[in-house]
């Protein structure tokens, strides 16, 4: 069984963050492990507080795993602040982590800033360069590049600029554009386009976390990046199509749609 590690924040409502990542790993038949960077008080309506985890214990969590267990892929989500980013980058370099998927989480769908503004520079200069693949949504790609994104041409321009920061692949996700939810993969030479029909639902909590974790799973299973994204896109599209209402706000995608 492939072994996956998520380094991310906890979502108390279970739809995004660490909880979404571990559900994705399990649903797709792999063994999931976690390093928690921050605890959020969150539900389907918003984020009501965040407590960051101290760098020392973040490092110790990573060390405990890598000194004992072979990790086939690492997914990185909410990283909150620059000291956390530096701790993670140094540790992953030290332990020669492979198949690193960076989801550059900045703002929750409910509008809460999960990345402090002081951490933007470290995310761009330190975390993104160690990624095998980085998966920004439209807003994140705009913040990283300074390019305003309105259509597929703008997504391509942003993907090229992000590629220049050092990751091996860039996937700009189009879930927030008004047309079909098309995602664009760039490897420095060519673009691949991943299309799906837009599912009309408000219950899309955790889409980005789930997609990036699923990409990690398929990389761990030995698929090429192109194929891993294709399979992860199929998974998230089905999980959104079976998403369900929970609480009073934005409900979660259904990670176990093919099991229950
Ligand atoms: N309503 C939808 N129907 C189908 N796919 C969607 C929908 N919303 C988002 N997606 C897909 O979900 C994935 C996550 O994208 P996105 O919502 O843009 O990221 P994030 O959650 O990071 O903001 C992408 O593959 C995107 O194309
Ligand atoms: C703890 C935590 N991490 C990440 C997110 C963002 O999740 P994402 O899948 O990008 O989208 P939303 O869940 O915000 O819809 C989060 N909310 N919490």
Helices (H), 67-206: 82-94, 120-122, 138-145, 152-163
Nearest residue to 225 (alpha-carbon basis) of 32, 46, 73: 73
Say yes or no: CB of residue 136 within 6 Å of ligand 2. no
- What is the distance between the alpha carbons of residues 216 and 25, in angstroms, rounded to a whole number? 9
**Catalytic annotation present for 32:** no
Q: Residue 255 falls within a domain, yes or no?
A: no
pLDDT digits (tens, 9 = 90+) for 2-55: 999 999 999 999 999 999 999 999 999 999 999 999 999 999 999 999 999 999
Q: Residue 197: CB partners within 8 Å, gap ≥ 6?
A: 180, 237
pLDDT digits (tens, 9 = 90+) for 174-219: 999 888 999 999 999 999 999 999 999 999 999 999 999 999 999 9
Q: Residue 81 falls within a domain, yes or no?
A: yes
DSSP 127: I
Q: What's 75's domain CATH number?
A: 3.40.1190.20
Say yes or no: CB of residue 108 within 6 Å of ligand 1. no
Say yes or no: CB of residue 210 within 6 Å of ligand 1. no
Q: Residue 151 falls within a domain, yes or no?
A: yes
**Catalytic annotation present for 206:** yes
Q: Residue 253 falls within a domain, yes or no?
A: no
Q: Residue 23 falls within a domain, yes or no?
A: yes
Say yes or no: CB of residue 17 within 6 Å of ligand 1. no
- Domain residue limits at 219: 3-241
> Of 15, 174, 208, 216, which residue is the catalytic one?
208
Report how far ligand 2's centroid is from the alpha carbon of 205 (Å).
Answer: 7
**Catalytic annotation present for 209:** yes
**This model's pTM is above 0.80:** yes
Instruction: Report the domain count for the chain.
Output: 1
């Amino acid at each position: 069984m492939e072994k996956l590690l998520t380094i991310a924040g906890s979502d108390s409502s279970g739809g995004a963050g660490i909880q979404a990542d571990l559900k994705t790993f399990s649903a797709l038949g792999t063994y999931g492990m976690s390093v928690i960077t921050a605890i959020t008080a969150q539900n389907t309506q918003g984020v009501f507080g965040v407590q960051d985890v101290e760098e020392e214990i973040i490092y110790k969590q990573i060390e405990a795993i890598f000194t004992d267990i072979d990790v086939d892929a690492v997914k990185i989500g909410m990283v909150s602040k620059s000291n956390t980013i530096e701790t993670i980058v140094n540790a992953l370099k030290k332990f020669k982590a492979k198949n690193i998927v960076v989801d550059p989480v900045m703002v929750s769908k409910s509008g809460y800033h999960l990345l402090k503004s002081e951490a933007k520079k470290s995310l761009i200069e330190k975390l993104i360069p160690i990624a095998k693949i980085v998966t920004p949504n439209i807003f994140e790609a705009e913040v990283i590049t300074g390019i305003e994104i309105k259509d597929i041409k703008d997504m391509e321009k942003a993907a090229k600029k992000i590629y220049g920061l050092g990751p091996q692949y860039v996937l700009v996700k189009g879930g927030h554009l008004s047309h079909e939810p098309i995602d664009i993969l760039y490897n420095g030479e060519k673009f691949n386009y991943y299309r799906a029909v837009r599912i009309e639902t408000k219950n899309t909590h955790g889409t980005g976390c789930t997609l990036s974790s699923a990409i990690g799973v398929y990389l761990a299973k030995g698929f090429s990046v192109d194929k891993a994204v294709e399979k992860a896109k199929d998974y998230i599209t089905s999980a959104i199509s079976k998403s369900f209402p929970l609480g009073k706000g934005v409900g979660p995608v259904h990670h176990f749609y093919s099991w229950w």
